[in-house]
Amino acid sequence: MEPGVAPTQTPSPASNTTTLLGKYQLGWLLGRGSFAKVYQALSIVDDTVVAVKIIDKSKIVDAAMEPRRIREIMAMRRLQVHPNILKILKVMATKTKINLVMELATGDELFSKISRSGKLAGPSARRYFQQLVSALHFCHQNGVAHNDVKPALHFCHQNGTASPTAT
């Protein structure tokens, strides 16, 4: 998710059940930011559940920002081999939108997990911290700096691993 894409408190279905470019059935709105909305979606081809980040090009006011978004997408693709970084599965663009089909993080945000309990138990906190440091180190080794590191942009998968979002 891009910086500024905050998850909504209550997911809501996409209005009038939208099909994205004939390939993905959009479902719940997972979050929104100044440039993008993120939906849970279902692949029409193979029934895979994914996240789709839809970046509205019209909201990118500065003409220099579009090449920056493209560079960020290319950087995310270089980072796909790390187990704690969400993967881009497909990029589809139209004249007005950039659609990123991504791996769906199936658990909570790290921020929500901390907010509910007030703190994380030592072993759990240590495991998440090690995974996040490993992912950030991998980014830095590959010439990528995450520009918005905060618990709200890190997802805890149901299997106990954490994934920072990259864009």
151 vs 157: CA distance, rounded Å? 14
DSSP 43-58: ETTT--EEEEEEEEGG
Q: What is the CA radius of gyration of the chain?
A: 16
- 101-135 confidence digits (pLDDT tens): 999 987 777 777 788 888 878 888 888 888 888 98
Catalytic, 148? Answer yes
**What pLDDT shows up at residue 150?**
64
**pLDDT at residue 50, as a whole number:** 96
Question: Is 53 annotated as contributing to ligand binding?
Answer: yes
Q: Which CATH architecture does the domain made up of 6-102 adopt? A: 2-Layer Sandwich (3.30)
Average pLDDT over residues 22-29: 94
Domain with CATH 3.30.200.20 in the chain: 6-102
Residue 82 pLDDT > 80, yes or no? yes
Per the structure block, which two tokens stand in for 14? 């996409």
Dig out the tokens for 68 from the structure. Answer: 């920056």
Spell out the residues 6+ positions from residue 23 whose beta carbon is closer than 8 angstroms to its own.
43, 44, 45, 92
pLDDT computed for residue 40 by the predictor:
95
User: What are the CA-CA distances from residue 7 to residues 29, 56, 137, 140 (Å)?
Assistant: 9, 17, 25, 26
What is the pTM (predicted TM-score) of this model? Answer: 0.74
pLDDT of residue 159: 53
HSE-up of 93 (CA within 13 Å, CB side)? Answer: 7
Ranking 9-13, 34-38, 53-57, 124-128 by mean pLDDT, the lowest is 9-13
Pick the catalytic residue from 46, 47, 56, 148: 148
